[in-house]
């Protein structure tokens, strides 16, 4: 593992697949020009609209999103995470998997994760979310991709951040960088987004790379923004604020080693 720059992209995706992919490409190119070798896109980067519309277009979204990610990886010679898009469930037209995939610079898929924890919540602001109505939950812990240059990379998606046992499982496998791509609601994000991410970084002494959605997507659907990169001590290295753009910061193996020596909590676990 070497020191390198990572980018957590922040978007305001809409119910317009082609437009979203154009915006994503522009931000990826900007991140590459700024030196990023590892680039991550947020949950719903390819399409953020009503669940029924997403389900209807799931086949097209899935095909175009996967092709897009592989093209970007090869064109810019980067490793790229597509943080979450619908992939149809074979034999069930009523559901899709919320899927994140990691692509290496050759355009090869090296890790895939189907979101396990689904966001079924009634919020005090009047918004109701029932992700399980159109999404099939995954059944497996997310994988780790062991990259010789970039370290051990672990996947998750959005609502997963509230379930520390998922990240502890990745930690036991030696993860160095945790992805938390999200479309966090504006209401919950203002109170919980930053503190949850910092907790996951601190308790696992890992970097967190958290690309995010921001702003108004359609109707009353607002997201929090603040894509961030956090170091293993819990320090926020960069925060994208509330406009489309990115958080950009160095991932340094020496920092991971330093923090794990100073705070060797992973070695002190009793209930493993």
Catalytic positions, written as ranges: 43, 115, 158
For the range 143-146, what are the long-range contacts, defined as Cβ-Cβ under 8 Å and sequence gap of 24 or more? Answer: 143/111, 143/112, 143/113, 144/111, 144/170, 144/173, 144/174, 144/175, 145/102, 145/110, 145/111
Distance CA 155, CA 223 (A): 21
Helices (H), the chain: 17-33, 51-56, 58-76, 164-172, 186-204, 253-262
Distance CA 231, CA 216 (A): 29
Distance CA 145, CA 270 (A): 26
Q: Which two tokens stand for residue 19?
A: 């437009």
- Distance from CA of residue 107 to its chain's centroid? 19
| CA-based nearest residue to 182, from 22, 30, 74, 40 | 40
């Amino acid at each position: 593992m070497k020191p390198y720059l990572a980018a957590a992209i922040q978007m305001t995706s809409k119910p317009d697949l082609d437009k979203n992919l154009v915006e994503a490409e522009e931000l990826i190119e900007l991140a590459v020009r700024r030196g990023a070798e590892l680039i991550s896109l947020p949950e719903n980067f390819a399409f953020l609209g009503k669940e029924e519309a997403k389900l209807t277009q799931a086949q097209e979204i899935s095909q175009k999103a996967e092709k897009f990610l592989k093209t970007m990886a090869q064109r810019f010679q980067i490793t790229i995470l597509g943080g979450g898009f619908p992939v149809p469930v074979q034999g069930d037209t009523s559901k899709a998997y919320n899927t994140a995939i990691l692509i290496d610079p050759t355009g090869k898929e090296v890790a895939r994760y189907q979101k396990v924890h689904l966001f079924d919540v009634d919020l005090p602001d009047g918004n109701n979310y029932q992700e399980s109505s159109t999404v099939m939950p995954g059944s497996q812990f997310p994988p780790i991709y062991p990259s010789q240059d970039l370290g051990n990379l672990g996947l998750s998606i959005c609502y997963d951040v509230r379930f520390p046992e998922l990240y502890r499982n990745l930690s036991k496998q030696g993860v160095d960088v945790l992805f938390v791509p999200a479309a966090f609601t504006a209401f919950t994000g203002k109170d919980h987004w930053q503190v949850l991410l910092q907790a996951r970084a601190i308790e696992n002494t890992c970097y967190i790379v958290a690309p995010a959605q921001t702003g108004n997507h359609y109707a009353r659907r607002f997201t929090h923004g603040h894509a961030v990169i956090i170091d293993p001590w819990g320090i926020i290295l960069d925060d994208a604020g509330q406009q489309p753009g990115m958080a950009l910061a160095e991932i340094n193996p020496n920092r991971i080693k330093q923090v794990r020596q100073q705070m060797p909590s992973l070695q002190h676990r009793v209930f493993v």
